[in-house]
C-alpha cells in the first residue's frame, strides 16, 4: 500500500488517496492493486468504517458525494475502484466470490490495521458494506462469506443474476428465460470499454466513452476488453443463441447473493427501485425473504427511482439517506433503539409548487408483506382470442422498456406494433385502487411450432384515454409444448412486475400480450400465435400509513443542526436585549463609521494560547488580507469575530458597536467562515431563501439577484445542493455571505474549490465590492491571490501580528531581480561563479537573489561573458516578504 496524497476536504473530514494491493483468486495467490480513497472524520477516533462500493462501469469517483456525506456523519469511509475498471488492475469477474469478494475481504483486513478505525477484536473492524447495483450485490455477497461485516445497505441490486438477465414470469427459471439483450449488451459494452469516468452505465447511456481513468489495455482482446475469459465466453454464447447453457447459469449464480443469502447475519437494509427494468422489485423481494429466514434483522424500502428512474423525485433520496444513516448509527455506533423493520414504499403524488419537481409521498406498513401484498382486488378484462404475428428475430419490435429510462422517448406509454399484440381492457374503476406488489393474470397460447415467446404488460388508462406503463416493465414468458389450436391450450399464470400505482375512480387497466420487445431477444423464425387472457387480473395491495411530510425527514437529521443554531440565536438575542436594559449600549463615536476595529484580542484554552495579542483595523474601501501559516491564529480570530467563540480578553468593534452574540450590528456583516453548510435536499436558491428568512429581515432587502450574479451559478441555483461540486457549494456560500450586500464582508478561504478562471473572477468581485464604501476581510493561504486582490495585509504568526500595512509597503525593496537574457545556460554559470545566493529559471529568463552584489556588477559580468541582457527588473513578491516575516517557519505550533 502506498499513500499518494493527503489533503483537507472539509472542516469535518480529510481524504487520503491510496493504492491497496490485495491477495485474490481461487487459491488466494493472485495480486490486484485497487485504486482507493479513504475519508477520515476529524472527530474523536477511532470511528466505525463503511466500505462504499460503486456500480458497474463506474469508479470510486462515482460514489464520492455519498462518501463525503457519510464522512460528515462520523464514519471512516473507504471507496475503491473494482478490479477491471478505472485505474485498478485485474479483470471483471462479476462479483465472483474468488475475485471481487476476496478483494473486499482484503479491504476489511486493511481497515483493521488502521488505528483510526474502531475494532471489536483482532483483525475485526466495526464495518458496514454499502453500495448500489454492482456494489449492492457485493455487499450482500461479502456479508454472506465474512462475518466481520456488522451491517449492510444494498441498493437496487440482484438476487439471482441468471434470473435477472434471463427472466421468465411463469416461474420456470432462467433455463427457460428470455434473454434481456439490451441491458446485457450495455453491461458487456461498459466492461469491454473499461469505462473509467462515469458512474454505473451513465457514460454509455449519455453517449460518452471511456473517461480519463480508463484502464483499458490496448493489447487486450477487443471482443472481451477487461472481462475475464469465462465471463466473456458466457456472454457471447447467450447473446448469440438467446439461451443460457447450464455452465453459464452456474457462473452467474456464483456471483449472486442467492448463493449465500442463507448465511447472512449482518442486519440488512434493502433498498429497491420501483422504476427498474434491470433489477426489479422481485429481486429485492427474494433477497429480503432469504435473509429474514435466518432470523437476521431486515428492513425493506422501495422508492420511486431505480436504474430507469434516476434518483427518484421529490424527497425520496432524502428519505433513503435518513433510513441509511439511522441503520448505520444503530448497528455501528450503537446509537438509539433498533430501527423499525416496517416496510416503506413511495408513490409519486404530484408537483412541488415551489420548484415544479415531482413529489414522492412515503407510506409505512407493519412488517414486510412481500410482492404478494396483504389483500387483493380482482379486475375482469374484456377481449377476444386473437391471432398475433411473431416477426423474424423480433424485428420490428414493440417499445416498452429500454435501459436507463430511454423509454421516456415515448412518454412512458409504450409502443406496440400492429398485428403483433392483443389488448384486453377493464371497465372503469368504481373507486380508487392502490396497487402495491406484483399483479397476476392467466393467459392461454397456441403455436404451430409448439413454442412461443410472449411479453405480458399491464397498462393504466387515464380518464382522457391516455395509456401509461407503470414501472415501465414487462413480463417475458417462454412457453413450450403448446397445442396448435387455442381451445386445447392450458391457462398459465403469469406474475407481472411488482409496481406501486394508484388507479383512480374512472381509470381502467389493460393487459397486452405482445410477440416482440426491443429490450429482449425473440425467436428468429416467424410464426403466428393464438393468444387470450383467461379470467381476472389480480391486483395486490397493502394498507400503507402515510409518513409525515416527506420533505421533513432528512431535515430532522441534518436540518436539526440548523434549528439548534437558530434557537441559540434567538436565545442570544433575548439575552443581549435583557443585558442592554441594564447597561449603557452607547456607540464608540470615534469608530462609528469604521467597519472593523480589533483591539488587544486574546484567546486562551486550558493549556494553550491560540491568539496572544491581535490588533488591526479595516476601513471602508479596503480589502484586507489576513495571512499566516497554519496555526497562526487566523481562523480563531475569525471565529471570535463571528461570535462563534468568546475572546479571553480584548474587544472587537463593528461600526463602533462592541461585538457580542445577537448584537443588531451583525446585520451589517456577512461572512463565510469554516466552510459552507446547506440542506442537501433543497435547491441552491431555496437554501438562500431559507437562510434569509431565518434572519427575520424583509425579502426585498436580500438582493438575491445581485448575490447570485456574483456567485455565477446560473441555472444551477435551481438544482438540489446534493448534486453540487465542492466549488459550486463554495460559490453558493459566497452568495449567501453577500445577501443584503453587507457593509463588512468576512471570508475565510473564499477561493477554496474554485478553478483558476473563477479565482480571477472572485478577485475582481472583491475589489468591486469594496469600492462602494464597503470593506472586505479575507483570510487566505494563496499569497499570490492576496497580493493581487488585497489593498492591505495583516500577517500573523504564532498568535501575534508580525506586520500590517499596505501590500506595497509589506513587499518593500527587493534583494531579487528578474533578468531577461539571451543565453540562460551561460548566464546561470556566470552568475553562480559570481557568488549570488540563488539562480532560478523563470518564464523569459532568470530570477536571481543577488545577495548584496550590485546590480551593475551583475550586468557587467554577463556582458563580458557575451550574454545579452535585455531587461533587469527588481523582483519581490508577497511570498518573499511573508517568509522573511515568519522566519521561514510555516509549521503549525498548535491548533489555532
pLDDT at residue 472, as a whole number: 83
Q: Tell me the pLDDT band of 813, cut-offs 50, 70 and 90.
A: low
pLDDT at residue 120, as a whole number: 93
pLDDT at residue 312, as a whole number: 45
pLDDT at residue 107, as a whole number: 98
pLDDT tens digit string along 33-70? 999 999 999 877 899 999 999 999 889 999 998 999 99
Question: H or E stretch including 605?
Answer: strand 596-605
Average the pLDDT over 7-32 and give the result. Answer: 84
pLDDT at residue 721, as a whole number: 84
Higher confidence at residue 642 or residue 702? 702
Distance CA 621, CA 608 (A): 36
pLDDT at residue 314, as a whole number: 45
Q: Tell me the pLDDT band of 359, cut-offs 50, 70 and 90.
A: low
Q: Tell me the pLDDT band of 528, cut-offs 50, 70 and 90.
A: very high
Q: Which CATH architecture has domain 586-807?
A: 3-Layer(aba) Sandwich (3.40)
C-alpha Rg value of the chain to the nearest Å: 33
User: Do 2-161+258-269+276-299 and 586-807 have matching folds?
Assistant: yes
Higher confidence at residue 703 or residue 309? 703
Identify the top-confidence range among 245-259, 329-343, 558-572: 245-259
Beta-carbon contacts of residue 96 (< 8 Å; ≥ 6 apart): 228, 254, 255
Half-sphere exposure of 200 (CA within 13 A, CB side): 23
pLDDT tens digit string along 630-641? 777 887 888 787
pLDDT tens digit string along 582-596? 444 457 888 888 999
Q: For residue 521, what is its C-alpha cell?
A: 431477444
Instruction: Tell me: pLDDT of 624 over 80.
Output: yes
How many Cβ atoms are within 10 Å of 227's Cβ, its own excluded?
25
pLDDT at residue 878, as a whole number: 59
Q: Tell me the pLDDT band of 190, cut-offs 50, 70 and 90.
A: low
Instruction: Tell me: pLDDT of 753 over 80.
Output: no
pLDDT at residue 732, as a whole number: 86
Q: For residue 660, what is its C-alpha cell?
A: 457580542
pLDDT at residue 100, as a whole number: 97
Q: Tell me the pLDDT band of 873, cut-offs 50, 70 and 90.
A: low
Is CATH 3.90.550.10 what the domain over 375-545 is classified as, yes or no?
no
Instruction: Tell me: pLDDT of 172 over 60.
Output: yes
Average the pLDDT over 153-174 and give the result. Answer: 94
Higher confidence at residue 105 or residue 724? 105
Q: Tell me the pLDDT band of 807, cut-offs 50, 70 and 90.
A: confident
- 846-859 core/surface letters (b: 16 or more CB in 10 A; e: else): bbbbbeebeeeebb
- What angle, 0 to 180 degrees and rounded to 10, lies between the N-to-C axes of helices 684-695 and 726-738? 30
Distance CA 835, CA 842 (A): 20
Higher confidence at residue 172 or residue 803? 172
Q: Tell me the pLDDT band of 393, cut-offs 50, 70 and 90.
A: confident
pLDDT at residue 814, as a whole number: 58
Distance CA 374, CA 384 (A): 32
Q: What sign does the CA torsion over 856, 887, 877, 844 have?
A: positive
pLDDT at residue 197, as a whole number: 31
Can you give the residue ranges of every domain in the chain? 2-161+258-269+276-299, 375-545, 586-807, 813-875
Instruction: Tell me: pLDDT of 147 over 70.
Output: yes
pLDDT tens digit string along 193-232? 543 333 344 333 333 333 334 444 544 567 788 999 999 9
Q: Residues of the chain with pLDDT > 70: what percent?
A: 81
Q: Tell me the pLDDT band of 756, cut-offs 50, 70 and 90.
A: confident
Q: For residue 766, what is its C-alpha cell?
A: 472583491
Higher confidence at residue 485 or residue 42? 485
Distance from the Cα of residue 556 to its chain's centroid: 20
Whole-model pTM over 0.85: no
CATH fold of 2-161+258-269+276-299 reads Rossmann fold (3.40.50)
pLDDT at residue 455, as a whole number: 96
Average the pLDDT over 855-884 and give the result. Answer: 74
Higher confidence at residue 486 or residue 562? 486
pLDDT at residue 889, as a whole number: 52
Distance CA 354, CA 356 (A): 6
Identify the top-confidence range among 193-202, 300-309, 327-336, 866-875: 327-336
Identify the top-confidence range among 62-71, 104-113, 814-823: 104-113
pLDDT tens digit string along 693-728? 777 778 888 888 888 876 777 788 888 888 887 778
- Mean of the per-residue pLDDT values of the chain: 82
Distance CA 66, CA 523 (A): 43
- 3-class SS shares of the chain: helix, strand, coil, % to 5: 30, 30, 40
Average the pLDDT over 171-187 and give the result. Answer: 89
Instruction: Tell me: pLDDT of 895 over 90.
Output: no
Q: Which CATH architecture has domain 813-875?
A: 2-Layer Sandwich (3.30)
pLDDT tens digit string along 570-579? 444 444 444 4
Q: Tell me the pLDDT band of 749, cut-offs 50, 70 and 90.
A: confident
Amino acid at each position: 500500500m502506498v499513500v499518494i496524497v493527503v489533503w483537507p476536504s472539509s472542516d469535518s473530514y480529510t481524504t487520503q488517496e491510496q493504492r491497496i494491493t490485495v491477495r485474490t483468486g481461487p487459491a488466494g495467490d493472485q495480486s490486484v492493486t485497487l485504486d482507493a480513497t479513504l475519508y477520515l472524520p476529524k472527530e474523536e477516533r477511532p470511528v466505525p468504517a463503511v466500505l462504499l462500493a460503486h456500480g458497474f462501469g463506474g469508479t470510486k469517483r462515482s460514489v464520492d458525494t455519498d462518501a463525503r456525506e457519510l464522512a460528515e456523519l462520523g464514519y471512516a469511509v473507504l471507496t475503491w475502484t473494482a478490479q477491471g475498471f478505472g485505474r485498478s488492475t485485474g479483470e471483471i469477474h462479476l462479483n465472483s466470490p474468488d475475485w471481487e469478494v476476496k478483494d473486499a475481504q482484503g479491504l476489511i483486513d486493511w481497515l483493521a490495521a488502521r488505528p483510526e478505525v474502531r475494532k471489536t477484536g483482532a483483525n475485526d473492524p466495526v464495518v458496514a458494506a454499502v453500495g448500489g447495483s454492482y456494489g449492492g450485490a457485493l455487499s450482500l455477497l461479502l456479508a454472506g462469506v465474512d462475518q466481520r461485516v456488522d451491517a449492510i445497505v444494498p441498493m437496487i441490486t440482484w438476487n439471482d443474476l441468471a434470473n435477472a438477465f434471463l427472466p421468465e414470469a411463469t416461474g420456470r427459471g432462467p433455463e427457460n428465460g428470455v434473454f434481456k439483450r439490451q441491458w446485457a449488451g450495455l453491461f458487456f459494452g461498459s466492461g469491454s470499454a473499461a469505462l473509467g469516468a462515469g458512474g454505473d452505465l451513465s457514460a454509455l447511456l449519455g453517449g460518452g466513452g471511456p473517461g480519463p481513468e480508463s484502464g483499458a489495455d490496448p493489447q487486450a482482446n477487443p471482443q472481451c476488453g477487461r472481462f475475464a475469459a469465462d465471463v466473456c465466453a458466457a456472454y457471447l454464447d447467450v447473446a448469440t443463441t438467446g439461451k443460457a447453457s447450464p455452465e453459464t447459469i452456474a457462473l452467474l449464480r456464483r456471483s449472486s447473493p442467492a448463493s449465500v443469502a442463507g448465511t447472512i447475519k449482518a442486519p440488512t437494509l434493502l433498498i429497491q427501485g420501483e422504476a427498474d427494468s434491470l433489477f426489479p422489485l422481485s429481486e429485492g423481494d427474494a433477497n429480503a425473504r432469504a435473509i429474514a429466514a435466518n432470523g437476521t434483522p431486515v428492513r425493506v424500502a422501495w422508492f420511486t427511482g431505480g436504474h430507469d428512474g434516476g434518483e427518484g423525485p421529490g424527497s425520496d433520496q432524502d428519505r433513503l439517506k435518513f433510513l441509511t444513516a439511522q441503520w448505520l448509527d444503530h448497528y455501528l455506533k450503537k446509537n438509539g433503539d433498533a430501527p423499525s423493520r416496517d416496510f416503506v414504499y413511495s408513490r409519486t403524488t404530484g408537483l412541488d409548487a415551489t420548484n415544479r419537481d415531482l413529489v414522492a409521498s412515503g407510506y409505512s406498513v407493519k412488517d414486510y408483506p412481500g410482492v404478494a401484498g396483504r389483500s387483493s382486488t380482482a379486475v375482469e378484462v374484456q377481449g377476444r382470442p386473437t391471432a398475433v404475428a411473431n416477426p423474424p428475430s423480433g424485428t420490428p419490435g414493440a417499445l416498452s422498456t429500454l435501459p436507463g429510462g430511454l423509454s421516456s422517448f415515448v412518454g412512458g406509454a409504450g409502443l406496440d406494433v400492429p398485428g403483433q399484440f392483443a389488448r384486453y381492457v377493464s371497465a372503469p374503476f368504481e373507486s380508487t385502487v392502490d396497487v402495491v406488489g406484483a399483479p397476476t393474470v392467466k393467459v392461454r397460447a397456441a403455436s404451430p411450432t409448439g413454442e412461443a415467446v410472449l411479453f405480458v404488460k399491464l397498462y393504466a388508462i387515464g380518464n382522457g384515454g391516455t395509456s401509461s406503463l407503470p414501472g415501465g416493465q414487462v413480463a417475458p414468458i417462454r412457453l413450450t409444448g403448446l397445442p396448435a389450436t387455442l381451445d386445447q391450450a392450458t391457462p398459465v399464470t403469469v406474475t407481472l412486475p411488482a409496481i406501486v400505482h394508484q388507479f383512480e375512480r374512472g381509470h381502467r387497466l389493460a393487459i397486452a400480450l405482445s410477440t416482440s420487445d426491443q429490450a429482449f431477444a425473440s425467436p428468429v423464425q416467424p410464426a403466428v400465435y393464438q393468444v387470450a387472457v383467461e379470467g381476472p387480473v389480480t391486483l395486490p395491495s397493502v394498507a400503507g400509513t402515510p409518513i409525515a411530510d416527506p420533505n421533513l425527514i432528512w431535515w430532522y437529521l441534518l436540518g436539526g443542526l440548523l434549528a439548534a443554531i437558530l434557537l441559540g440565536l434567538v436565545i442570544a438575542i433575548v439575552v443581549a436585549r435583557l443585558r442592554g436594559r441594564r447597561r449603557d449600549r452607547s456607540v464608540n463615536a470615534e469608530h462609528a463609521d469604521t467597519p472593523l476595529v480589533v483591539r488587544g484580542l486574546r484567546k486562551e484554552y486550558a493549556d494553550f494560547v491560540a491568539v496572544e495579542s491581535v490588533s488591526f483595523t479595516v476601513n471602508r474601501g479596503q480589502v484586507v488580507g489576513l495571512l499566516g501559516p497554519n496555526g497562526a491564529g487566523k481562523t480563531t480570530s475569525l471565529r471570535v469575530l463571528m461570535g462563534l467563540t468568546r475572546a479571553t480578553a480584548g474587544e472587537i468593534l463593528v461600526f463602533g458597536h462592541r461585538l457580542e452574540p445577537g448584537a443588531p450590528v451583525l446585520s451589517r456583516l456577512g461572512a463565510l467562515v469554516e466552510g459552507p453548510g446547506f440542506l442537501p435536499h433543497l435547491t441552491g436558491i431555496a437554501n438562500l431563501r431559507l437562510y434569509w428568512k431565518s434572519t427575520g429581515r424583509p425579502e426585498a432587502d436580500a438582493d438575491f439577484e445581485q448575490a447570485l450574479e456574483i456567485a455565477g451559478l446560473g441555472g444551477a441555483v435551481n438544482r438540489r445542493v446534493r448534486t453540487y461540486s465542492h466549488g459550486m457549494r463554495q460559490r453558493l456560500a459566497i452568495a449567501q455571505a453577500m445577501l443584503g450586500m453587507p457593509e463588512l464582508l468576512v471570508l475565510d478561504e473564499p477561493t477554496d474549490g474554485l478553478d483558476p478562471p473563477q479565482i480571477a473572477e472572485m478577485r475582481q468581485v472583491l475589489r468591486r465590492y469594496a469600492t462602494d464604501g464597503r470593506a472586505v476581510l479575507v483570510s487566505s493561504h494563496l499569497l499570490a491571490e492576496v497580493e493581487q486582490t488585497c489593498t492591505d495585509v495583516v500577517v500573523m504568526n504564532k498568535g501575534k501580528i508580525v506586520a500590517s500595512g499596505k501590500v506595497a509597503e509589506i513587499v518593500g525593496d527587493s534583494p531579487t531581480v528578474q533578468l531577461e537574457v539571451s543565453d540562460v545556460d551561460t548566464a546561470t554559470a556566470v552568475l553562480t561563479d559570481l557568488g549570488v545566493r540563488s539562480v532560478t529559471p523563470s518564464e523569459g529568463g532568470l530570477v536571481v537573489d543577488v545577495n548584496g552584489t550590485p546590480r551593475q556588477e551583475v550586468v557587467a559580468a554577463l556582458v563580458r561573458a557575451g550574454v545579452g541582457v535585455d531587461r533587469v527588473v527588481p523582483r519581490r513578491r508577497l511570498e518573499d516578504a511573508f517568509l522573511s516575516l515568519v522566519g521561514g517557519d510555516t509549521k503549525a505550533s498548535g491548533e489555532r
